[in-house]
Amino acid sequence: MKTAVIVFPGSNCDQDMYYAIKDGLGEEVEYVWHAETSLDGFDAVMIPGGFSYGDYLRSGAIARFAGIMPAVIEAAKAGKPVLGVCNGFQILLEAGLLPGAMLKNKHLKFICETVHLKTENNETLFTSLYKKDEIIRIPIAHGEGNYYCDDETLQGLRDNHQIVFTYDGENPNGSRADIAGIINKAGNVLGMMPHPERAADALLGSDDGLRLFQSILNHWRESAHAAYTS
């Protein structure tokens, strides 16, 4: 599996994402600068956290117009796994690849701590190695992680099982319905505020995030095998 890690001006979790793939999975990974226009040859796309373009206007609003974004949208439409973490989630929302929007945290303060997440849906390509309702420990670090959507959108997320992770126990940012991560209807685009790449090794305090990347790899291997034998 060959993975692209998109790098914007202000990205600061790109290296964490890179090494989660390189060292955690032992798979091929490359940085792709935001001004590039092609993702040909890549099997998966990662949009890391940080403060793209300084979070001017609002988080992800400028990055959404970067040169690489049409290729990201094309990869998503082609069914390739696309993961957006923290600022990456915000960019996916701004790009219209996921529904909803981000507001400032309910206490209007930046939060940096480890939280407990509940695995609401383990039947996705990102969560197949987790158990249903499993509680995992993943760090968060954001100032605008208060996910919001209207009633109709929320009902659609529930009906289509698009809510993948929720905050278990205390909701740290005021996110509607305790939402921490959602997928698109096709199931190949995941946005989440917590950072699985920062929980990909026990030395970091938790390796609960590694299984997310392993799930993506397993899906790619199964898809590649099916394509080869068909």
Q: Would you call 197 a catalytic residue per the annotation? A: yes
Determine which one of 34, 142, 195, 219 is catalytic: 195
Which tokens belong to 88?
């990456």
Which tokens belong to 189?
């685009």
Determine which one of 13, 27, 34, 86 is catalytic: 86
Q: Would you call 142 a catalytic residue per the annotation? A: no
Q: Would you call 34 a catalytic residue per the annotation? A: no
Determine which one of 94, 120, 144, 197 is catalytic: 197
The total number of residues shown for the chain amounts to 230
List C-alpha distances in Å: 76 to 11, 16, 171.
Answer: 21, 22, 30
Catalytic positions, please? 86, 195, 197
